[in-house]
Amino acid sequence: MSPSELVHIETLSEIDALTERMRRHAAEAPDWRPAEACRAMTQRLLQRVDTMRVRWEAPLLVAALGGSGTGKSSLVNAIIGEEIATTGRNRPTTIYPTLICRPDVAPESLGIDPRQVEVVYRDLPILRDVIIVDCPDPDTSERVAETDGQAEASSVASEKSSASIEKKKSLAEGNLARLRAILPHCDALLVVATQQKYRSAKVGEELAAAAPGAHLFFVQTHADEDDDVRADWGKHLKESGSSSLAVPAKIKQSDFFFVDSLAALKDAVAGLQPRGEFARLIDALHRQLSGASGKRIRRANFLDLTADMLERSSRRIDDALPSVEELRSQIAQRRAELASRLAERMRGELLAGRRLWEHRLVGQAASRWGVSPFALVLRLYQGFGALLAGTTLYRMRTPAQLAVWGAAMGVRTWRKKSQDAESERRFEQAATDCWDHEEIRKAALVLEGYADEAGVPRDDASLETIVAEAGRAGDRFVAAAASQVDAVVAKLAAKKTGFFTRSFYNLAFIAMLGGLLFRVGKNFFYDSIVGSPLAPVFGLDSYLVSGFWLVLWCAVLLVTFTGSLRGGLKKEIDRLADAWRGPEVAAGLFVALEDECRKIGRWRAELQALIAETDRLRRRLASPEE
């Protein structure tokens, strides 16, 4: 196998891989109106690719395209070397496409319905690598319109003339349909024009539609009587090619020819060699459409067609993308607003139930400090109410009084537990109903409008969908918030009960207690027994004063310690609230809409990758090594 054959096989395999990627890309199109249109275009292209695949090794189909009276049939006859197609200047003569090929070629093998063409078989050397088609006139309808206008302007209108006009209209419509049926199968186009018709809008429309999948040659005929307008023709094509990227990109001045078809046909019939511009045209056809160059043309045509379709899809997507980006912006904005309201509400609930969290913090501090002196003070502080209630037990004298005391203690315990449970319940309820339902409804209405404008399914922005998403997001937030609050309590307890803090409060308490005990002990054991002079033993009032100062000192230490806990707790609550204002808290809202936007982004990225791969293959095919 020669190197050129290996390169050919490699290129075909890469084209197959590109085609398969395009097939998957079309199948994975998101539920988005612009993507649906692009998917339809891709599917139509893939259908055409299947037809082209059958003809990879078949002769190239070369079509003569031009307006009526431009000399298409004369040019075809000159290229073939004999008068096959019917000719006539300044009047439409080609009605059915005339397909000229070798006897061993069947129109069906080219994907062409033989009933829509007139087939002429010739065993000629020029037909070894190409099949030539003389196409119907695309602008016949313009001439019919002129005839129609003349008929209506006439003072006498007979039924015969009306029938003739209708027949011509039907003929024009049939011509255009047959032309459009044959052009997608063509690998190269001989675009034929004259000095009078090179600006034909009708021909320009058909050329713009067919150019992406075909190699182009531009031939100005009637060189025996017209001026050379090739430069202006090329300028006109480039200026009017904004509707089709492929036409201006394919225009090269070397592909313009100025020929006299009738003189060329006479030379061919007389057995003379082609001359002048016609010789250059024949040389270009042989050089560019035969052998390996012909295979290159067909592959290049496929890639040009693919590039044109992908560029059209990309423009369509890019035109619709701003509305999708606006939808994403609105999703982020609504999430931020709802998260901010949630954070403020939860902050208020946490601060309202701060006593519960302080109680937990004091309990954790006492547990961490074990049997240290100040830990005992903390436990007494926590159970102060129960301690006071317990002292009344000693005053109970009868079973009835004891029963009343027990009932009171039970009510007190129940109320305390109820208060703690209520604080927890309020927090959990606030977390469960964290979203403002009115704000959710407003957000759903706003996003539904943006989704409709962006072409995204409105069901993803419906109130039912968003309410369900809010419920699931609320459940996740409840679990996360509860664990975060517990973590904050544990973190604050660890921070506020460190070695130095514990040492400070224990030493402060022991210093006061030790001072009071030393004063009482010194008076009792020393001053009142061996002192000089002997001091009287302190009375009850002195012990009460000492107890008062001890209690007051404990209160100061407790206020200082709980104040530190309270300040730290408020800071942690504020920090939590700031964290809840972030986008992660509301990430569970509007997920269906966001998923659609994300799918659109990924789908567009794959489209850009396909465009880049197609451009790479086109550059490789255009390189000299290929």
Q: According to the 3-state scheme, what is the secondary structure of 206-238?
A: HHHHHHHHCEEEEEECCCCCCCCCHHHHHHHHH
Query: Which one of 155-169, 513-527, 606-620 scores highest in mean pLDDT?
Result: 606-620
> Are 311 and 611 within 8 A, CB to CB?
yes
First to last CA, the chain: 16
Share of the chain above pLDDT 70, in %: 79
Beta bridge partners of 60: 130
Query: For residues 105 and 96, what is the distance between their CA atoms, to the nearest angstrom?
Result: 19
User: Which residues contact residue 296 at a Cβ distance below 8 angstroms, ignoring those fewer than 6 apart?
Assistant: 621, 626
∠ CA 306-136-237, nearest 5°, is 50
Q: Is 46 exposed, middle or buried (0-12, 13-18, 19+ CB in 10 A)?
A: middle
What is the reported pTM?
0.63
| Mean pLDDT, range 235-248, rounded to an integer | 66
> Are 609 and 378 within 8 A, CB to CB?
no
The residue written with tokens 């927890």 in the block is 424
The sheet that has 188-193: what strands, in order across it?
118-121, 98-101, 130-134, 60-66, 188-193, 215-220, 256-258
Query: For residues 144 and 142, what is the distance between their CA atoms, to the nearest angstrom?
Result: 5
44-53, 108-117, 207-216, 325-334: segment of lowest average pLDDT:
44-53
Beta bridge partners of 130: 60
Query: For residues 371 and 199, what is the distance between their CA atoms, to the nearest angstrom?
Result: 104
- Report which of 187, 144, 161, 574 is spatially closest to residue 354, judged by C-alpha positions: 574
User: Which residues contact residue 512 at a Cβ distance below 8 angstroms, ignoring those fewer than 6 apart?
Assistant: 549, 550, 553
- pLDDT value of position 47: 79
Q: Is pLDDT at 157 greater than 80 in this prediction?
A: no
Give 527 or 20, the one with higher predicted confidence. Answer: 20
| Mean pLDDT, range 149-157, rounded to an integer | 41
> Are 342 and 475 within 8 A, CB to CB?
no
Q: Is pLDDT at 152 greater than 50 in this prediction?
A: no
Element (H, E) at 446: helix 437-454
> Are 91 and 68 within 8 A, CB to CB?
yes
Q: Is 294 helix (H, G, I), strand (E, B) or coil?
A: helix
604 band by pLDDT with thresholds 50, 70 and 90 = very high
Q: Is 591 exposed, middle or buried (0-12, 13-18, 19+ CB in 10 A)?
A: middle
Give 431 or 511, the one with higher predicted confidence. Answer: 511
Q: Is pLDDT at 161 greater than 50 in this prediction?
A: no
Q: Is pLDDT at 44 greater than 70 in this prediction?
A: yes
- Report which of 505, 518, 506 is spatially closest to residue 546, judged by C-alpha positions: 518
Mean pLDDT of the chain, nearest integer: 78
Query: For residues 88 and 140, what is the distance between their CA atoms, to the nearest angstrom?
Result: 14
Give 584 or 318, the one with higher predicted confidence. Answer: 318
Q: Give CA separation, 213 vs 8, 122, 279, 332, 545, in Å.
A: 19, 27, 26, 44, 108
pLDDT in tens, 370-418: 878 888 888 887 765 444 444 444 454 544 444 444 554 455 455 555 5
Query: For residues 285 and 79, what is the distance between their CA atoms, to the nearest angstrom?
Result: 10
Q: Are strands 130-134 and 60-66 parallel, antiparallel or unpaired?
A: parallel
Q: Is pLDDT at 56 greater than 90 in this prediction?
A: no
- pLDDT value of position 348: 78
Taking each helix axis from N to C end, the angle separating 591-622 and 463-496, rounded to the nearest 10 degrees, works out to: 100
Half-sphere exposure of 482 (CA within 13 A, CB side): 15
> Are 194 and 260 within 8 A, CB to CB?
no
Taking each helix axis from N to C end, the angle separating 354-369 and 499-521, rounded to the nearest 10 degrees, works out to: 70
Q: Are strands 130-134 and 98-101 parallel, antiparallel or unpaired?
A: antiparallel
**Residue type at 297?**
I
pLDDT in tens, 172-217: 457 788 888 888 888 889 999 998 888 888 888 888 888 777 888 9
pLDDT in tens, 332-378: 888 888 888 877 877 777 777 667 777 777 777 878 788 788 888 88
Taking each helix axis from N to C end, the angle separating 399-432 and 384-391, rounded to the nearest 10 degrees, works out to: 160
- pLDDT value of position 310: 92
